[in-house]
Structure formats: structure tokens, C-alpha cells
Structure 1
Amino acid sequence: MKPQNKFTRRQFLTMAAAVPVATAFGYAAAHPMNKLLNPGASETAGLKPEQLREFGPLQFVQGDEVNFNAGSSHPLSLGALQTVQDYFNSRAHLPQAEGYKLPASQPIEQFAQLVNADPSELTYVQSTTTGEQMVLRALNIPHSGGHIITDTLHFFGSLPMYRELERQGMEVTFIRDENGQISPEAIRDAIRPDTKLIALSLVSTVNGFTHDLKTICDYAHQKGVYVYADIIHAAGCMPLDLHHSGVDFAATASYKWLMGDFGLGFIYAAKHTHDKLRQGNYGYYGISEYSSHNQPHDPPGEHVVEYAFADDARGLFALGTRQHAVIAQLSYSLQQLLDIGVDKVQQHAQLHTRHLKQQLPKLGFELYTPEGSEAPLVTCIYKDARKKLAPLFKERGLNLTVSRNSFRVSVSVFNTPEDTEHLLRTLRDHV
């Protein structure tokens, strides 16, 4: 007989009672998920209240699918959409945009507050992987030679890069996970006298495993080794303190849990690294002083131009053209995350992920996500998942990540108990 454990509203509210904020942000007894904070905004957009889901001031459109794929790309909130529209109105010189000014540096300041960093340790970057490659260049890798440690739960798009560095003379240790986890001691034991860098994903995109970053950094720094962390699955969905962790470098795009979009993110370099890094990027936005000696009426000078790069992360990593629309969008989204509190976002997700971790094994699915993971991701191993489950999910209106032999559920602030029960009911019917 198939298990019939359902995630009812009563059970959800009972669980949420242990997390009082959950009722304030999305699940009061009257279920205000479909109650508008600003009805006028929905009318302007041509939306009905039942088409919206809200979490505090954040409002999202409920489409035709149940969205469990925020870990691939997060939907835009209506507030963020309006800030993007405001920006494009200014680009079109529309009358309603008169006086608009792009908040160019505001997201840097907001993100610094969100992850406990100094703004001087941050600048914009195109993507997470771009930031990771910038760190490698700043450390003069691969020309310096030496040893790098990474692991098989790191972002799969970065693994070919480290294989290429092997071909270019670096020695790379790939630590394999055991039951979906990698211990700090496994990384510590791989450190050698010539180790230059440990590169990892703080939260694995594969299964939500979360490294003990502070312990790893302590081990690394005892041996004079730098640590880089991909933080794309931590920033915005889990409390994150870069200073406390001791991590030397980090990077993230914004289109996932930061509720931004493609093409803009952040790179972090701790202050103590700045004077030890090689200048490997020469971008317009990194320049702090500039004096031309090559145009009519310029003052004379020995060189065609005199210049200086800023003595911070901007000077080391900032390039040229930025995604202005995403800057506008992030100025809204990051402020909402700050006002709501990332801990509240995490608590909401955990009400769902804990239930999924309890129920999925009962249906015969093997968890690949460690039981104690606090990330908003739940991954199950299932042979031929793409072949067997992807068509079913599509038929049932479920949007989640399905790989060749696994599937991953990503829970965000707009997900409801009904969503989770719909997923479990679909899987019950399958088994």
C-alpha cells in the first residue's frame, strides 16, 4: 500500500508555530498568500488576487506551473519588475521618468550588509564563474604553478576549468563526496606545502550540501592557503557572514536567491588580500585617477595618459559595461531581503524541505541531500530520472530540475503547502 502522508495546511501551521515569523510572512490562519498589499498594482498589471503570491512586501505571479526551480533562476517580483520598468522609462526619455537616477552603487552597499562585508571588498561581476576566473588570474594561476584543491560537489561548470588548469601545469586534487558530503578534515588532509588555493561551493548546486566554511578557512590559513567560495546558493537564502567565515574570495551571480537577473553579480576579496594580488583586470570602472595628455589643450605629460587603479576590490576586478537594469532591480530586491531578513526566508524554506526529506524516502527515493542541510534544496538520486520523471512533471505542471539520474527541488518564499503536497502526490502516483 502506498504511503499517504500528506502535508496539510493544519500540519504546516503546526510546524510554523515553532517559527512565529512564518505566519507573518505568508501563512497566517486566513492564508494571506493571495491577499494583495497593494491591489492597485495588480490592477495595473491586469492580475487578479488569486494570481499572486506574497511574502511580506514581495509579490510574485503564480503561473501555470508549480515552480520548484528558483535554484535555477528566481522569478522576478512585481516590485523588482517596476524598478526595471522605471529604468527603461528613463532610457526612453518618457515624461514619467523625469528625475530618475540609477542607484549605481546601492546594490554594492546592500549586498555588503547582507553578507557582512565592507563595500570596499566588493564590486560587480558578470557571473559567478567570471569571478572565480578573476581570482585565479589575480593569484597568477596557472603561471605560478603549484596545487589546487576542489571537490566533486563544486559547481559542475567549474570542474572543466580545473581540468584545463591541470593540462597547463597545475596539480589539482578533486575530493570526492561520501554520501553527499565532504568533511573539512578531508580538505585539510589534502593540503600540501605547494597548495595555493581551495575552491569550493559553499552550498552545492548538486545536492544542497553546505561546507563548514569557517573550519575549512581556519585549516587553510594555518598553512598559508587561500580559500575561494562560490556563494550563489547561499547568498539571499541563508544567513551568511563572510567576515566571520574568514573566506578570502567569493563570488555570486544574482539571478537565483538574490532575486536579480542574468549578467550581474558580485565578487568579494577580503581586505587582507588586496596588496597581495596581481593586477589582472584593467577596466574603466576600476580606475580612480585619470589624466589625459593626448587631446587638444591637455596638459603636457611624459605619457599619453596618467592613471591609477582604486586600492580596493573595484580597482582589482571592475571592468566596463554593466547591466544597469539589473542594478535597478537589485536595489529593490536586496532591500526587501534586508527588511524581511534572510533568516525568515530560510525558516520558510525549511518548513518545506524538512517535510520533503521525511516523505521522499518513504516513497522509495534516495536522498542525496544530507539530512542536516539547511539550504533550500532537496535532491534525490533516481536512475533515469530525466527519462522517467521529466514527462510526468511536465504533465502535472511541475517545474523543477531533472538531471539524468536525479531530481532537485528548490523551495522559495512563494511556495505553499499545496505546492509541496502536489509534488508528493505526483511522485506517489508514479511509484
Structure 2
Amino acid sequence: MSPSIETYRAQFPVLAQQLYFNHAGVAPTSLRAAAAVREWMEDVVNHGVKYERGWEARAEHTRALAARIIGAAPGEIAFVRNTSHGLGLVAEGLDWKPGDEVAVATSIEYPSNVYPWLHLKDRGVEVREIVSSPEGGVTPEAVAAALTPRTRLVALSSVQFASGFRTDLDAVGALCERQGVLLCVDGIQSIGCSPVDVKRSRIHFLSADSHKWMLGISGIGFLYVAKDVLPRLRPALVGWRSTTDAWNFNRSHFELRPDAGRLEEGSHSFTGIYALGAALELLLEVGMPDIESRIRALLTSLDEGLRGLGCDTGPSPEHRAGILTFLPPKGESRTLSAWLGERDVSLSLRRGRIRLSPHFYNQPEEIERFLGLVRDFLGR
């Protein structure tokens, strides 16, 4: 473990108390992000609105960081409350016609990426099922099989929350481009865990909030909208900030901003934006390729160790991002999950399987401690 990684570990005091393998659920945030929130709070407590221009500048800095981490332009980024908020803006903003179809793997997707599309039923939009793979993922072949001449949009997760199956976004994006279909991605299980390039993958929309792999806090995230499709997305809500003359309160001049800022109808959540900025700075300092490499190495050790104890693990390495799931030999997932929780191991139980999701700062020694606990449980 290099000194630099030890320095980053010190930013997360929870690691001294727990084996934290739950970043696909709710991640701990850093001392750095907490300090950023306090910075804004101290400012407004002591100075009121005096330094408001600084708040706005920090928001634009954070917007640029969000763009950088996914390979977008700052003008293609809008702040949202959460992943659901961003996906809802896409679902409610497109010019649907009766008979249009959205292709979604409703049987495996997180509800945030199912309900916005089902909600379009009263507008005549039908949801067409993408058949999931045996490993619980979405393959390019399955997407191709679901497309019809009426398909307007494919909605999928970059990584499936329950199985950990990573979608081949490059292949799906190329397919959607050939078919003239929009691609909307729930990116919350990959941003901060694996490199994402929205341009290379030909993604039109991507939504993610910061309380998982980004190591931020709840209540803030971002929505990417590709510049060329932004004119096709009607804002579901508008307000003073949506317009080109936003800071002129002496007249009504309703002209929507030409960038994704048109989707931000009112005052910013500066506590969230400051925290998000600090979280993204930390990730970009470490570097997404290095983060991905470290997580993959940790998951490989977990996979080998758990299989050595007779557990069924998944997904397979070629479909893996930051999540490994497993089933104990006797199928005692719920009992083992509770037993580990009592011993300060943070993890999740999803669809009958234990889900593990370490981050870059977890140590090989922590993997060994975890495997020892599982060994103790199985040998009772």
C-alpha cells in the first residue's frame, strides 16, 4: 500500500471502524467533502449573500469536473437532485408520440430506470422488454433483439445494481447509432468506479448522483445531455435560472439557455455542489484508470477466496466492474449478511445474494479479514 493511498484512506474515518464494502449502496464521504460543506455554511452564516459570486463560481467549477470525469463539455451538464430526477427529466422532456417504444430490461433494472418509462403509458408510449442474460445483465445482442421500427430510446444501467453485470456501452451505443435510437444510461454504478466516456460510447443522456462510487453525499448529482439532442428535450420545469437573462429580475424575458443549464429551474443546492466538487476532485486526483485497476484487483482476490470456500460468485471477470456477488454453499445469504453486519462489515443483500463493492482505498488485508470472517461462519 503506497503512502499516497494511505493518505486518502485517512480522509475516510469510517475505515477505522468498519470493513466497508458497500459503495454500490451508500458510500462514506470524505473529510474533504465535509470541509467543503462547512466552508459554504460558514460563509453564509458569517457573511450572508456577500460572496454569492464565489458560490456561483464554485458551482461552475464543479460542473466542469463532472464533465471531465465522463468526457463531456460543461455545457452538457445539469445539476440534479438524484439519478431519478435526471432520468425523469429525460422521460418527461422528449416529444413522444403514441406508439413510440422504450426498450428497458424491467426485470433487472433498478426502479429508478423503470418507473419513469412506465409513467409514459398515458402518453401512448410502450415499454418493450429487453431480455436479461443468465448472469443478470443487458447484452448488445439482447438490445438488438428488442428493437423495432417504433423504438425511440434504449434505457439501461451501465452496471446492474443487483448482479454487478457491466454493460458494454460502446457496443450498445454503436448499435443505437446505427438504428437511429437514443441511448439513456443510469450511470450511478460506474461513475467513480470505472472510466466512462460518453462520446466514445455515443451516449445521449446519462444521470448519476454522488452518494455511491463518487464518494459524495445524497441529494446532488448531474445529468449529461449531448449537445446535439438538447434542443429535443423540453424542460419539464422552468424558472428564473433556466433563462438567458437569469440575473435580470427587472423584466420577464423568457428565452431558454442554449445549454443544459436550462434544466436547472431555480437556486442551487450549494451544500451538495460543494461536496460534489470536493468528491470529484479527489477521484480525479487518484485517476480513474488507477481506481478501476485497484478495484478489479480487490474483486479478484475476493472472488478467488470465496470460490475457495465453496461460494458461488458472479459476475464473471469479463462482465465485472465494481461489484461482486456471492451465495454461500448452503444458501444462507440472509443469515450470513446479518452475522457480518453484527461484526461491522458494511455490505448489501440484493435479490438473495450478498453484494460486495470495495473502493480504491480498501486494502488487501481487509479482503483477508473478510474471508476469515466468512470462513468462521461457514465452519460453525
What TM-score, normalized by structure 2, do the two folds share? 0.89
Is the CA contact (8 Å cut-off) linking 2:136 and 2:160 kept in structure 1? no
Residues 381 and 148 of structure 1, relative CA distance in 2, 3 Å threshold: farther
Residue matched to 2:37: 84
Residue matched to 1:373: 319
CA distance in 2, matches of 1:244, 1:323: 31
Superposed CA deviations along residues 123-167 of structure 1, whole A, max 9, x for unmatched, are 1011111111111112134x5431111114422343344444457
CA distance in 2, matches of 1:359, 1:163: 41
2:185 aligned to 229, 242, 254, which one? 229
Is the CA contact (8 Å cut-off) linking 1:232 and 1:251 kept in structure 2? yes
Residues 385 and 308 of structure 1, relative CA distance in 2, 3 Å threshold: farther
Q: CA RMSD in A?
A: 2.7
2:350 aligned to 390, 403, 410, which one? 403
* Structure (1/2) with the larger helix percentage: 2
Residue matched to 1:186: 142
For residue 310 of structure 1, report the CA deviation from its aligned partner. 0.4
CA distance in 2, matches of 1:115, 1:371: 23
Matches within 5 A, 1:27-426: 33=6, 53-54=9-10, 58-93=11-46, 101-102=54-55, 103-141=58-96, 144-151=98-105, 152-166=107-121, 169-174=124-129, 175-289=131-245, 305-315=252-262, 317-381=263-327, 385=332, 387-403=334-350, 405-426=352-373
Is the CA contact (8 Å cut-off) linking 1:385 and 1:405 kept in structure 2? no
Q: How many residues get paired?
A: 372
* Matched AA of 1:140: D
Residues 270 and 385 of structure 1, relative CA distance in 2, 3 Å threshold: farther
CA distance in 2, matches of 1:279, 1:330: 23
Tell me the SS of whatever aligns to 1:206: coil
CA distance in 1, matches of 2:41, 2:246: 30
Superposed CA deviations along residues 261-292 of structure 1, whole A, max 9, x for unmatched, are 11111001111102223343313322112698
Is the CA contact (8 Å cut-off) linking 1:380 and 1:408 kept in structure 2? yes
For residue 24 of structure 1, report the CA deviation from its aligned partner. 5.7
CA distance in 2, matches of 1:362, 1:153: 28
Residues 155 and 403 of structure 1, relative CA distance in 2, 3 Å threshold: closer
For residue 412 of structure 1, report the CA deviation from its aligned partner. 1.0
What TM-score, normalized by structure 1, do the two folds share? 0.79
Residue matched to 1:429: 376
Residues 184 and 328 of structure 1, relative CA distance in 2, 3 Å threshold: same
Superposed CA deviations along residues 278-315 of structure 1, whole A, max 9, x for unmatched, are 343313322112698xx9xx6xxxxx833211011111
Residues 381 and 194 of structure 1, relative CA distance in 2, 3 Å threshold: farther
Which shifted more, 275-284 or 62-71?
Answer: 275-284
Unaligned 5+ runs, structure 2: none
CA distance in 1, matches of 2:14, 2:194: 23
* Matched AA of 2:345: L
Unaligned 5+ runs, structure 1: 1-21, 27-32, 38-51, 299-303
Residues 429 and 290 of structure 1, relative CA distance in 2, 3 Å threshold: closer
CA distance in 2, matches of 1:279, 1:329: 26
